[in-house]
Amino acid sequence: MNPVATIPGPIIGGLLLITVAMLAMQAIRVLGSMPQTNANIFAAGTALIIGVGANALPHDLIMRLPALLRPFIAAGIITSFLVAAFMHIVFNLMLRTGDREAKRIENTPDNE
């Protein structure tokens, strides 16, 4: 018998809760340290919404997808990561919208 299978469900649930909480706090730390440009906020928000939406997809719909796509669509965190990475590449590396906005913000005089 697999030794992991003998661990009670509540113990696994508690460990999962701690792990997810630590992961969420690290994500908040990263989001707080990135430049608050419209491109970054849009990318993070869109990735979050799509990731949550991926978890709400019906199981039957996911099973109709090609086998290669199922793991990426079924797990919301993978879908979120892929969307965020794609949007970061488009906005910040290809279009450089984040750099232009950050420079514009730096050149704006403070209202103090």
User: Which residues form the domain of 110?
Assistant: 36-112
The parts of the chain modelled with pLDDT lower than 50 are 111-112
Give yes or no: residues 55 and 8 share one domain.
Answer: no
- Amino acid 102 reads A
Structurally, how many domains does the chain consist of? 2
pTM of the model: 0.66
Q: Give the separation between CA 57 and CA 76, rounded to whole angstroms.
A: 10
Using one digit for the tens of pLDDT, what is the confidence trace for 35-55?
A: 788 888 898 899 989 988 888
Using one digit for the tens of pLDDT, what is the confidence trace for 19-30?
A: 888 988 988 888
Is residue 91 within 8 A of residue 84, CB to CB? The reply is no
Give yes or no: residues 48 and 11 share one domain.
Answer: no
For residue 102, the model assigns a pLDDT of 73
Give yes or no: residues 29 and 56 share one domain.
Answer: no
Give yes or no: residues 51 and 95 share one domain.
Answer: yes
Give the orientation angle of helix 76-88 with respect to helix 38-55, to 10 degrees: 160
Give yes or no: residues 49 and 3 share one domain.
Answer: no
